[in-house]
Amino acid sequence: MDAILHEIPENPMPEGTVAGMMAAGDGRRIRYARFPLRGAKGTVVVLPGRNESIEKYFETVRDLAARGFAAAALDWRGQGGSERLLTDPMRGHIESFDDYVEDLDLFFTRIVLPDCRPPYTILAHSTGALIALLAIPDLASRVRRMVLTAPLIEVRAPISQRWITRFAGLCFAFGLGRCSLPGSGRRGKETPFQGNRLTSDAERYARNLALVRTYPELALGAPTMAWLRAACIATERVRDPDFMPAIRLPILFLAAGNDEVVSTPAIERYARGLRSARVLTIDGARHELLQEADPYREQALAAFNAFAAPQQNEETPSAQAG
């Protein structure tokens, strides 16, 4: 099955890109891309956040190549260029994050392990970072390290996570799982730069808007109540006292000091509760660290490079096992 990656003058596709579609276990079509690099010292597996697409990370892929890393990425089911899950393609829907975890496992089995150079590092953002944490039981034997930017450990909201979970659960129980979140009427519509909560970089913000204006099929609107319920269940799972001690994989958490989407204090607490984790908070940065202004973004890339560099002469456990 063929896949198309889109580019615009402000956001050119990296040279040598290979794109495709894979069929998930339930037949859903999942879009992926590989970004090979001759002589690469490993592959970075990029896991986007909610309402993001592979195209949004073209700049990051070029930055990784400049540091000697090949890359691979996928669009989560229901967003980007992957198959949408509802008749209304703008609704961001899922009923269980286990579906994301299964798609990630398939991505490794079919694409990353056979076709991408080891060792492997995860670079995941927000919701993608939460999925990576959920997938650690599978990933531990495949990847050496993970770097999680502004991970969704807890949303930043005026009410507690417990009440959000209860509300979403009640809505789901009463058959409202496919309804969009209340008060989310503007989601999926253009937000002026001055009112955005994602980045302080006007040029990158304009570039990302231009991408979805040109290719509106990449856009995604509000999440459904089912998605919110599934996200709450997933965050509870990764915070479970029985789950956290089992994490042995080295992880670098990169938090944004001025994050208005997820809770930075929750990220810091979580990271400090793991034996194998480190946390760096980039003061003044907003949620999308890899779409931020250069003074913030360069800190994130430098931290990634310093953390991932020890992998240079290593192989993945699976490669060592033959």
Q: Tens of pLDDT along 170-225?
A: 888 989 899 988 765 544 567 889 989 999 999 999 999 999 999 999 999 999 99
The CA-to-CA distance between both ends of the chain, in Å, stands at 29
Residue 73's φ and ψ, nearest 5 degrees, are -155, 160
Among 35-44, 61-70, 126-135, 304-313, the range scoring the smallest mean pLDDT is 304-313
Q: What is the pLDDT of residue 316?
A: 43
Q: What is the pLDDT of residue 309?
A: 80
* More confident position, 3 or 180: 180
Residue 120 has pLDDT above 60, yes or no: yes
Instruction: Please give the Cα distance from 274 to 87 (Å, whole number).
Output: 41
Instruction: Please give the Cα distance from 293 to 303 (Å, whole number).
Output: 16
Q: What is the pLDDT of residue 184?
A: 59
Average pLDDT, stretch 256-280?
97
Instruction: Please give the Cα distance from 288 to 292 (Å, whole number).
Output: 6
* More confident position, 168 or 37: 37
From the number of C-beta atoms within 10 Å of its C-beta (0-12, 13-18, 19+), residue 99 rates as buried
Q: What is the pLDDT of residue 322?
A: 30
Radius of gyration (C-alpha) of the chain in whole angstroms: 18
pLDDT level of residue 164 (50, 70, 90 thresholds) = confident
Average pLDDT, stretch 50-74?
97
Residues of the chain with pLDDT > 90, as a percent, come to: 83
Q: What is the pLDDT of residue 183?
A: 62
Q: What is the pLDDT of residue 187?
A: 47
Domain positions in the chain are: 18-320
Sign of CA dihedral 111, 116, 120, 124: negative
Instruction: Please give the Cα distance from 173 to 166 (Å, whole number).
Output: 10
Q: What is the pLDDT of residue 317?
A: 45
* More confident position, 183 or 104: 104
Tally DSSP H helices, then E strands, for the chain: 11, 8
Q: What is the pLDDT of residue 156?
A: 85
Residue 125 has pLDDT above 60, yes or no: yes
pLDDT level of residue 16 (50, 70, 90 thresholds) = very high
Count of C-beta atoms within a 10 Å radius of residue 189: 10
Residues of the chain with pLDDT > 70, as a percent, come to: 93
Average pLDDT, stretch 250-268?
97
Q: What is the mean pLDDT of the chain?
A: 92
Could you give the 3-state DSSP secondary structure of residue 279? strand
pLDDT level of residue 81 (50, 70, 90 thresholds) = very high
Q: What is the pLDDT of residue 161?
A: 79
Average pLDDT, stretch 223-230?
95
Place of tokens 């946390």: 279
Tell me the fold of 18-320: Rossmann fold (3.40.50)
Q: What is the pLDDT of residue 319?
A: 39
Among 71, 75, 69, smallest CA distance to 30 is for: 75
Q: What is the pLDDT of residue 2?
A: 53
